[in-house]
């Protein structure tokens, strides 16, 4: 695990360090408990919105789907 020019590298995986930098700047790490609480609250609201969007989308899809054939249709057979 190494850091080179603002990039986190671990094996074949690498990513910019900007996410960590932005978190530290936005939430202030001098009070980590408060930073964690604020971040958790934001992520909770984000998750609730995402779930609501997914639920609404699923409802739209299911209401526009064609209903299955009625089970009252019977199949007749003749025996000899």
Q: What is the pLDDT along the chain (80 residues), one digit of tens a residue?
A: 444 457 777 777 766 667 666 777 788 888 889 988 998 999 999 999 999 999 999 999 888 766 655 555 556 556 65
3-state DSSP assignment of residue 14? strand
* Calpha distance 43→23 (Å, rounded): 13
**pLDDT value of residue 44:** 95
Domain regions of the chain by residue span: 2-58
Q: How many CA atoms lie within 13 A of 43 on its CB side?
A: 7
**pLDDT value of residue 50:** 95
């Amino acid at each position: 695990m190494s850091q080179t020019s603002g990039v986190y590298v671990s094996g074949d995986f690498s990513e910019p360090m900007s996410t960590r930098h932005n978190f530290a700047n936005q939430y202030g790490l001098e009070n980590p408990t408060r930073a964690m609480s604020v971040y958790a609250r934001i992520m909770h609201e984000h998750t609730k919105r995402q779930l609501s969007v997914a639920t609404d989308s699923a409802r739209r899809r299911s209401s526009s789907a064609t209903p299955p054939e009625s089970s009252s249709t019977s199949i007749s057979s003749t025996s000899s």
